[in-house]
C-alpha cells in the first residue's frame, strides 16, 4: 500500500527523555553512540552560541522549492525540530526571517536544513536556533511536491520522524528514537570521565596511558620500545 506524501502521526521521543538528553553535547552522544549519527560539517549554526534539542519533524523538498516546509510549519508541534532535506543546495534560500519567526511562534525548538537560508542578521538577532549549509539571497519557488514525516537524508545521516536531534557549535547529531534513552547512562559516565581527565591534565598528568599500545598495534614502534 502506497503511503501518503504527508504522514501526520508518528511517535516522537518522549518529552522527559528530550529533557534529559538535551543536557549532553552532541560530541558526548556521538562518542557513546559508536561515533555514528553526526551530520556532515557543512551544516553549521548561524551563530556559534545556538543550541537545540528535540524530536525530528522531517521534510523532503526539491532543491530550490519550499512548498513542503510551509506545509510542515502548519503541522509542527511545540518542541519539534524541523529537519529538512534540501539536497545541500546553496543556489537559493529555502527559509528566511518570515518563516523562522513563524517557526518560533509555533514553539519549535529549531531548524536543521541541508540547504541555505537568508536574512542572516535578522535570524541571529531573533535568537531562534538555525543550522544550515550557508546563506543565499535568492528566494525559493513554492510549487513542487515533496514529503513530510518520512525518513530523510540530512547531512549524510538518515533521520526518521521522531528521532532525537541535538546540535551546538560542533554541529548536529541524530540518535534513533528507540535508542536515545539507552545512551543516557553512558553519556553521564562519559561526562564524568572527561572532567576527571581534564582535571588530571591541569594537575600535570598530560600523558596518554593508551598511546604506547596503540603505536605498537599500528606498527609505529616495536613491542617494548618507547617514544
Q: What would the pLDDT profile of 192-216 be if each residue is shown by its tens digit? A: 999 999 999 999 988 888 899 999 9
State the distance between the two ends of the chain, measured CA to CA, in whole angstroms. Answer: 63
Confirm whether residue 147 is marked as ligand binding.
no
Find the CATH number of the domain harbouring 77.
Answer: 3.50.30.40
Q: Is residue 205 part of a domain?
A: no
Q: Is residue 185 part of a domain?
A: no
Distance from C-alpha of 79 to C-alpha of 144, rounded to nearest angstrom = 27
pTM given for the model? 0.94
Q: Is residue 187 part of a domain?
A: no
Confirm whether residue 99 is marked as ligand binding.
yes
Cβ neighbour number for residue 34 with a 10 Å cutoff: 8
**Could you give the number of structural domains in the chain?**
1
Q: Is residue 36 part of a domain?
A: yes
Element (H, E) at 158: strand 157-159
- Helix then strand count (H, E) for the chain reads 7, 11
- Return the ∠ at Cα 164 (arms to 161 and 167), rounded to 5°: 120
Q: Is residue 204 part of a domain?
A: no
Element (H, E) at 117: strand 110-117
DSSP state of 70: H
| Tens digit of each residue's pLDDT, the chain (227 residues) | 688 999 999 999 999 999 999 999 999 999 999 999 999 999 999 999 999 999 999 999 999 999 999 999 999 999 999 999 999 999 999 999 999 999 999 999 999 999 999 999 999 999 999 999 999 999 999 999 999 999 999 999 999 999 999 999 999 999 999 999 999 999 999 999 999 999 999 999 888 888 999 999 999 999 988 88
Confirm whether residue 97 is marked as ligand binding.
yes
Q: Which three cell numbers stand for residue 113?
A: 536544513
Q: Is residue 133 part of a domain?
A: yes
Confirm whether residue 98 is marked as ligand binding.
yes
Structural domain including 151 reads: 15-178
Q: Is residue 81 part of a domain?
A: yes
Q: Is residue 109 part of a domain?
A: yes
Amino acid at each position: 500500500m502506497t503511503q501518503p506524501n504527508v504522514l501526520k502521526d508518528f511517535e516522537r521521543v518522549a518529552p522527559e527523555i528530550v529533557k534529559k538528553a538535551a543536557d549532553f553535547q552532541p560530541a558526548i552522544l556521538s562518542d557513546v553512540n559508536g561515533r555514528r549519527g553526526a551530520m556532515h560539517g557543512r551544516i553549521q549554526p548561524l551563530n556559534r552560541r545556538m543550541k537545540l534539542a528535540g524530536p525530528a519533524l522531517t521534510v523532503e523538498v526539491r532543491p530550490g522549492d519550499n512548498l513542503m516546509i510551509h506545509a510542515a510549519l502548519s503541522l509542527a508541534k511545540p518542541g519539534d525540530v524541523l529537519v529538512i532535506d534540501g539536497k545541500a543546495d546553496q543556489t537559493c534560500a529555502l527559509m528566511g526571517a518570515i518563516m523562522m519567526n513563524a517557526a518560533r511562534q509555533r514553539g519549535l525548538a529549531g531548524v536543521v536544513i541541508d540547504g541555505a537560508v537568508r536574512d542572516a542578521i535578522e535570524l541571529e538577532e531573533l535568537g531562534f536556533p538555525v543550522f544550515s549549509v550557508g546563506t543565499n539571497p535568492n528566494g525559493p519557488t513554492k510549487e513542487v511536491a515533496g514529503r513530510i514525516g518520512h525518513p530523510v537524508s540530512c547531512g549524510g545521516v538518515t533521520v526518521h520522524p521522531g528521532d532525537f536531534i541535538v546540535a551546538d557549535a560542533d554541529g548536529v547529531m541524530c540518535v534513533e528514537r528507540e535508542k536515545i534513552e539507552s545512551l543516557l547512562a553512558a553519556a553521564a559516565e562519559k561526562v564524568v570521565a572527561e572532567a576527571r581527565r581534564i582535571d588530571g591534565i591541569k594537575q600535570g598528568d598530560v600523558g596518554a596511558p593508551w598511546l604506547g599500545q596503540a603505536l605498537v598495534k599500528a606498527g609505529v614502534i616495536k613491542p617494548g620500545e618507547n617514544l
